[in-house]
């Protein structure tokens, strides 16, 4: 990752991006991704750094997919990226609100207790995180912990390591990169791939179990 900042709003750089120059996008990612993480964390206090990283990554994916539609001169590239970020944050907060409501209503402590404190506890973020420790898995029919670890242990050592550091120990990508010496971009790809494999493995196994029951 280069420490040299470039003018990502310049006409020549934007032209490179629109033309599909992968090297230009790598430079854009290196410069904008950490900025977006900080922007989200500072401006949206209800979003923790870990989620801010996921949102920023989603923003950069959207930028990569839609850069060909960016119109130079209509707005600065950074302004356009910030607008995408705001929309992604709104989507994230809306989904989280729906998930909290759904999980809270399904929590026995919320249903059975007449005390407001129990209801508030059911809405606690840690309760939701504990009920579904691996994000990306649909929890309409939640797998038990034994099954989760069974599928986890079937993954490669590399995939287990990134999930352990990212999901279980809740380290940021920057922290993992400093610890392992692996580039942030590479870590993101590995984590995304490992999560998909874990989710698909759980989905398939649970489907088989339902057939046998």
Whole-prediction pTM: 0.50
CA nearest to 71, candidates 11, 148, 138: 11
Q: What percent of the chain clears pLDDT 70, i.e. is strictly above it?
A: 75
Give which of 82, 25, 89 is closest to 55, Cα–Cα.
89
* Cβ atoms within 10 Å of 77's Cβ, excluding its own: 21
**Which one, of 87, 88, 84, lies nearest residue 75 by Cα?**
84
- Please tell me the predicted confidence (pLDDT) of residue 157: 87
Domain 138-213, what fold? Arc Repressor Mutant, subunit A (1.10.10)
Whether the predicted pLDDT of 28 surpasses 90: yes
Residue 115 CB neighbour total at 10 angstroms: 9
pLDDT band at 113 (very low <50, low <70, confident <90, very high): very low
Q: What is the pLDDT of residue 143?
A: 56
């Amino acid at each position: 990752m280069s420490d040299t900042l470039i003018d990502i709003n310049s006409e020549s750089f934007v032209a490179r991006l629109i033309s599909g120059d992968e090297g230009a996008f790598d430079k854009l990612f290196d410069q904008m991704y950490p900025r977006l993480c900080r922007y989200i964390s500072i401006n949206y206090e209800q979003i923790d750094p870990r989620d801010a990283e996921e949102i920023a990554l989603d923003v950069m994916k959207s930028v990569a997919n839609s850069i060909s539609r960016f119109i130079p001169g209509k707005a600065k590239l950074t302004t356009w990226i910030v607008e995408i970020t705001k929309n992604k944050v709104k989507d994230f907060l809306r989904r989280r609100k729906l998930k909290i409501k759904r999980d809270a209503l399904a929590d026995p402590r919320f249903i059975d207790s007449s005390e407001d404190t129990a209801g508030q506890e059911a809405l606690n973020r840690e309760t939701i995180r504990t009920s579904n420790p691996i994000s990306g898995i649909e929890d309409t029919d939640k797998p038990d912990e034994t099954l989760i670890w069974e599928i986890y242990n079937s993954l490669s050592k590399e995939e287990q390591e990134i999930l352990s550091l990212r999901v279980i120990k809740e380290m940021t990508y920057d922290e993992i990169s400093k610890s392992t010496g692996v580039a942030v971009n590479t870590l993101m790809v590995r984590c995304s791939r490992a999560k998909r494999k874990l989710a698909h493995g759980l989905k398939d196994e649970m489907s088989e179990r339902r057939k046998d029951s």
